[in-house]
Amino acid sequence: MSAERPTTPAPSELIEGGGRLPLPWLVAPLTQALAVARGHHALLLRAAPGIGARALALSLAQSRLCEAPGPNGLACGGCASCRLVHAHAHPDLFVLLPEIERRQTAWLIGEDKPEAEEGGKRKPSRQIRIDDVRVLLDWVTKTAARGRGKVVLLHPAEALNAHAASALLKTLEEPPAAVQLVLTCSDAMHLLPTVRSRCQQVVVPPPGVAEAAAWLAAQGVVRPEVLLAACDGRPLEVLACQERGVDAERWAALPAELAAGRPGALAGADVPLALQWLLKVCHDAMAAAVGAPGRYFAEGAMPDGLALAALNRWHRELQRLALAAEHPWHEALALDALVSGARLALSAPGRRPGDMAPNPSRTPSRAGA
Ligand SMILES: [Zn+2]
């Protein structure tokens, strides 16, 4: 069990560093997106989660606003404009994120308060709401302050709720002159067709395993290929794992820990993340039960004697819970119940794991109740 905390910088620190783009797999897409942006006022960057869509959008915005861009059009990283972007203080850049991400990254808007002042009294929204879009629409009409136009960065567009997306449509269709919109999304099918059709789309391919592993190794990640498999090949998710203290060793030990009734790497995870990881354990356990190779864990990570029927029941239960992942769980109780369910499915074939799992319709465990 590794007790040592990793020293890797937070993904946001890494990917917003100094105007350069330290994520090597995004350099080519950035050049492409810049070329497309010259002819279109609204861009939709389509990228899998965890590969740096926000960093790419920000580099694009910074390059558009840079006062001394290089011959390739990329931001210089040192001019007054670049420094303002870096300080989250550029008057002609509006970064619109879901509230939860605004607080994590300090890209605050309107009446937002910094994390320290808010004091965790209220759970921040994972959506981009109509009030957020109204702050943006008010900003869009103002004249550019530094003479290089204005840029709106909206990430991710899937976070727009229906009202917010409708409110944004008119601006997408007829933006005021010299306003560039940069939207990101991982699944364009989750966007209103009217939003999708008003944007020029740029597809950002994920990095290859070797490229991602080499980059992660340079960030100090040990055995990066283990966590890359765990995270579907998404390098920034690997860094987030590492930040939580989950390294390759703890990940590999997770199925055995769960079979013994211990949370292992799940300790401290919130319910949505715990469910995501349990679904991965369950997937590979089902594969192991029929003698197939796993996808998220190396060979030999699963306990012996797995019973497919119990795993099938567990899988259905996890899927049902995943639909209610945003329910205001009592996190500690819910995690206990999830670990119990995992233990039953992985170690005691024949019993009903669902009996131990939390149920949003009957568990009196709302936060604060
Ligand atoms: Zn610059």
Side chain identity at residue 158, one-letter code: E
Sheet holding 150-154, edge to edge: 93-96, 150-154, 179-185, 42-47, 200-204
pLDDT at residue 185 in the model: 96
CA 77 to ligand 1 center in whole angstroms: 5
Which residues does residue 128 pair with via DSSP β-bridges, in sequence order?
160
Residue 185 phi/psi, 5° resolution?
-160, 155
How large is the C-alpha radius of gyration of the chain? 22
CA 85 to ligand 1 center in whole angstroms: 9
pLDDT at residue 358 in the model: 45
Write the CA distances from 129 to 100, 105, 155, 183, 195, integer angstroms.
12, 18, 13, 15, 15
CA 339 to ligand 1 center in whole angstroms: 50
CA 37 to ligand 1 center in whole angstroms: 17
CA 81 to ligand 1 center in whole angstroms: 6
Angle at 13 between CA 12 and CA 15, to 5 degrees: 65
CA 193 to ligand 1 center in whole angstroms: 35
CA 138 to ligand 1 center in whole angstroms: 26
CA 64 to ligand 1 center in whole angstroms: 9
CA 93 to ligand 1 center in whole angstroms: 14
CA 76 to ligand 1 center in whole angstroms: 4
Express the helix, strand and coil content of the chain in percent, nearest 5 each. 50, 10, 45
Architecture per CATH, 11-204:
3-Layer(aba) Sandwich (3.40)
CA 40 to ligand 1 center in whole angstroms: 22
pLDDT along the chain (369 residues), means of 10: 36 45 86 92 94 94 94 91 95 95 91 73 85 95 92 96 91 88 92 90 94 94 96 94 94 97 94 95 96 94 92 96 84 94 81 44 40
CA 65 to ligand 1 center in whole angstroms: 7
pLDDT at residue 179 in the model: 94
Q: What is the pTM of this model?
A: 0.80
pLDDT at residue 356 in the model: 44
Q: Where are the beta strands (DSSP E) in the chain?
A: 42-47, 93-96, 150-154, 179-185, 200-204
CA 78 to ligand 1 center in whole angstroms: 5
